[in-house]
Structure formats: structure tokens, C-alpha cells
Amino acid sequence: MNTQQTSNFLISLMDLDCYSFTLLVSLFVLLITLLRAATQSRTDVKCPPGPRKLPLIGNLHLFASFRPPHHTLRDLASKYGPVMHLKLGEVDAVVVSSAEAAKQVLKTHDANFAYRPSLLVTEILCYGNTNIAFAPYGDYWRQLRKICTLELLSVKRVQSFRHIREGEFLNLCRWIASQTGALINLTERINLSTSDVVTQATLGKKTEEQAAFISVIKEATELAAGFHIGDVYPSIKLFSRVSGMKGRVERLHKESDRILENIINDHRATNAATNNNESKNHQDLIDVLLKFHDSGDELHLTIDNLKSVLQDMFSAGSETSSTTIDWAMAEMLKHPRILKKAQDEVRQVFNKKGCVDEDYIHELKYLKCVIKECLRMHPPIPLLLPRECHEGCAIDGYEIPARTRVMVNAWALGRDPRYWKEAESFKPERYLEINSADYKGSNFEYIPFGGGRRICPGMSFGLANVELPLAMLLYHFNWILPQGMKPERVDMMETFGVTARRKNPLYVIPVFRTPLPE
Ligand code: HEM
């Protein structure tokens, strides 16, 4: 408004008669009252309940013990409810622990919760979150996920890796057979074999630096759970430096980067020597990703992007499967009746052939129930990878403001007596009675692979990498616990990182039973 317009406005105000003036004042008062009411109702929207917050640290002290966080969170949820607010240092977090609330996050408001928070560890390790698992929800993420699904993770592609699985797990059995009667660290061997399978499927061949890469990834997944100082005080950069965490992650990143650089260079050199893939039957994931580097029009991938995706496939793919095999073996050793029942089934199905391959694996109904039960009680990723709420919305009637970190406790859901009879007992038979527990993320009390848009894209590959080795271990060997240990003493302690592995390796004595194929 210029000076002339302002004075005209004042003159017109003075010109108002008494009636109009009263009307104007009344409108003004009404407007203020409405505004107040609106603000009032905003502050009245319920915040999720949660434990009392201490100054500066909020609720961090509740995680000071060595208990895995998903255990602590379940206990807190039983007191404060299935939608619970926590203050982790500076970060507002909401923990979801009921099927109803999980459904709202993973289905009703799926797109709004398809974002991930940026964590210090993944920011450094995953080249600025350019991998699938931590890329912000959007076009880049969508296209990468599509490429990996088509080239590596579709049912058809997973079937095409059958010879890799059969070969590698046969090697595992050969090694175990050579140790018959001796005490072996089964956990370690399973880990090596699953990562061999994932590497060959992804890279087209094994890498000499396998062991070094496994150890880098293992340490990285321990750090990436989002509870470290740098992730709960993101604005105070000094904390992550002084705590030594940043240095540790940078060192891991440097090592992983060196290995990935060698892998890519080696791949390019081999391709150049074999006349640009012509002698290859099919292109592997690196070949396909390199095409997007060399000439991608709609999606151009840098070499760092490539490394980030390869690292993703390796870390998401191998540890989850080997952890599941490890837990399944431990549970069966703890429950000899279940071990025998699973062995009887495998032996009955494969005795006609004399060895295990993937031809009849679909007939192993009971073993599939064992795996299902194992993923209920020991989901390898017990707190789904963290989500971030994009726009404020309500879950179970509670307000979740934008940018709140959201954690879904899949482990707590799988052990909740509201959804499961004898929830703490390992009972594979339960799936012979109920059909509700599939892996697709539509029964929200059972979500070992997550749900919604961010559901695990590697489900078929992961399950194939679990079923075959378990069948082979059961078919070819009998298993004895060390030093006359009683089955009930098999220890089930967990560590915590992104994946919940068994804390101690599984030491067991194999007794070789049936000859292995040549
Ligand atoms: C038993 C095996 C596996 C289990 C239990 C498992 C479980 C999970 C879970 C719980 C998530 C988080 C989902 C969410 O946030 O809702 C996830 C994400 C993911 N998984 Fe798996 N996974 C397995 C195997 C694999 C394999 C074999 C691969 C690939 C080689 C893979 C690749 C991924 C990727 C890339 C993501 C991130 C998806 C995204 O953010 O869009 N997983 N997985």
C-alpha cells in the first residue's frame, strides 16, 4: 500500500457509520477467536506417550545396558503403548509395536513413511546414501531398485543362480565332511559360503578379498543401527569426532572403497579382454550398472553410485541369510524333536536321489515351517530399517510430526502373545494350522522382510540361500553338541547391529552320514 492508498483507507474507515464499525470489530474478534481455537486444537492433538525425558539426553540412558535395543523397546512399549515417543539425544523417535499401528505406517501411510533418516554411518559408508537401502524415497531410489530387481533379485534371476548355490553349498558340505567328528565353528563357515554365493551372483565371480570384505561389512552393520552418538546428536559434529566413531567409519569406508574399486577395475579389464562381454552368456549386475555409468541417459550412475549399490547387495544379502541359517540350526539343536522331524522329511524326499538339489526343495513343507518360525523369533533385521515421516500425520490417533524417526519393532510383533499362541516357544507346527503368516508384509504381526514400498526386494534370493544349505546340512550330517552339552543349554544370546546375529558362534560336531556327489 502506498501513502495515498493508506490515507484513502483511513478516510474510508472514518467514514464508517457506527453499525459498520461494530460489525468490523465483531469480525476481528471472531477471527482472533478462530485462530486461537485452531492453535489450541493443534496443541491438543495427542503426542504419543513415552518415558520421562531427562535434560539433554532425553531417553538415551534407557539404552545404556548391553541389552539389544529391540528388547528394551519391547519392554518400554508394554508400559507406554504400541505407539511410543522417545527422545534420543536431539532426535524425536516413535516406536511402533502393534500390528494395527504397523499397518498404518507400512500400508495406510506407506508413501509418507517410505523415507529414511540420514545416519552418519550410512552417509559415509554408502557414498552419501546413494545405495538402495538408504537412498531418499524418489526417482533415483526407484530406478536403482528396479535395476537390481530385474538383474539380480527377480524369481527368474534367482533360479538362474541355482548352479552357484548348489556348487558353493556342496563345497561347504565337503569341508564339513572332512571335519567329521571334530568340533567346528559352523557359524563362520556358513557365513563364508553365503557370501560366496551372493558375490558370485552379483559380481559374476568370487573375489580374493572376500574375507576382508566380510569383516568390513560386519563391523559396519554393527555401527549402522542408528543409536550411536553421531546419529542422536546430528547437529553437534564434534561428538562423533571426539567419540572416535567418525574416524572408525571413515577407516571402514576407505577399506571397503579400495576393495570395490579393485573389483570394478578387474571386471572392466576382464570385459575388455573378452571383447566387451561377447563371450559371456549373460551380463551380471556390474555389467548392467556399468552401462548406466558409460551411457545412462535417464539415469547416469557414477562409479561411487555403483560401489554403493554393490556394497548394498553384499551387505543386505549375505548376512541376513547366514544369520537365518545359524539361528535355524541353533533352534533345531536346542529342540532335538524338531531336528529329527526336519531330518526325516529331508531324507525321505531326497533318499531317492541320494543327494540334495533344488529340484524337490519345494516338497520340504516342514523345513519351510522351521524357517518361517525362525524368522518370527529371530528376524535378522529386528527393527526394520528406520523410516522418517515426510509430512506430519496421525498414527493410532497420535500426531507424528514431519521428520520424526520411526522404528517398527518386527521382533516384538513376532513375539507378541496377542497375536501368537505360546509366543516364546519355537513351534514350526503352528504354520501347519494357520495360513496367515506369509512373507509379503500383509500380515503385520509377521514382517521379517518389512512391508510397504521399502519391503525387502531380496526375499526370493534370501530364502533360496537359506533353504538349500539347511536341507543339505540336515541330509548329509548328524549333529552332536560339544562335551555332552544338553540341548536346552544351546545359547541363544544376541548381538545387535542392523542385523541381530547370535552373540557366540555355533560350535558343533558333524557326523558325516551320506556320500556327497562328485
Ligand atoms: C533372509 C533374508 C533376508 C531378510 C530377512 C531381509 C530383511 C529385510 C528387511 C527387514 C528390510 C527392511 C525393509 C523395510 O524397511 O521395511 C530389508 C531391506 C532390504 N533388503 Fe533384505 N532381507 C533378506 C535378504 C536380502 C537379500 C538376499 C538382498 C539382496 C541381495 C536384500 C536386499 C535388501 C535391500 C536392497 C533392502 C533395502 C530396500 C529399500 O530400502 O528399498 N535382502 N531386508
pLDDT tens column, 295-345: 766 788 999 999 999 999 988 898 999 999 999 999 999 999 999 999 999
Rounded to whole angstroms, the Cα distance separating 494 from 488 reads 16
Q: Among 132, 456, 470, which residue has the most ligand 1 atoms within 8 Å of its CB, making it the best to mutate? A: 456
Task: Please report the atom of ligand 1 found closest to the CA of residue 380.
Answer: 5
383 neighbors 77 (Cβ within 8 angstroms): no
pLDDT tens column, 388-440: 999 999 999 999 999 999 999 999 999 999 999 999 999 999 998 776 678 88
**Lowest mean pLDDT across 95-109, 256-270, 284-298, 419-433:** 284-298
Instruction: Give the model's pLDDT for residue 244.
Output: 83
pLDDT band at 34 (very low <50, low <70, confident <90, very high): low
pLDDT top residue among 131 and 235: 131
List the residue whose alpha carbon is closest to atom 7 of ligand 1.
449
CA distances from 149 to 1, 44, 143, 202, 379 (A): 59, 45, 10, 12, 22
pLDDT band at 282 (very low <50, low <70, confident <90, very high): low
**At the top level of CATH, which class does the domain 43-512 belong to?**
mainly alpha
Q: Is 90 exceeded by the pLDDT of residue 93?
A: yes
- Out of 150-154, 168-172, 271-275, the most confident range is 168-172
**Lowest mean pLDDT across 216-220, 276-280, 481-485:** 276-280
ipTM surpasses cut 0.90: yes
Domain boundaries, the chain: 43-512
Task: Please report the atom of ligand 1 found closest to the CA of residue 379.
Answer: 5
What is the DSSP code (8-state) at residue 58? B
Q: Is 70 exceeded by the pLDDT of residue 226?
A: no
∠ CA 49-54-59, nearest 5°, is 60
Rounded to whole angstroms, the Cα distance separating 358 from 378 reads 25
Task: Please report the atom of ligand 1 found closest to the CA of residue 135.
Answer: 40
Instruction: Give the model's pLDDT for residue 296.
Output: 63
Q: Which residues are annotated as a binding site?
A: 456
Q: Which residues sit with their C-beta closer than 6 Å to ligand 1? A: 132-133, 145, 153, 198, 312-313, 316-317, 320-321, 324, 380-381, 384-385, 448-451, 454-458, 461-462, 466
Task: Please report the atom of ligand 1 found closest to the CA of residue 375.
Answer: 5
Q: Among 129, 197, 320, 407, which residue has the most ligand 1 atoms within 8 Å of its CB, making it the best to mutate? A: 320
pLDDT tens column, 443-487: 999 999 999 999 999 999 999 999 999 999 999 999 999 988 999
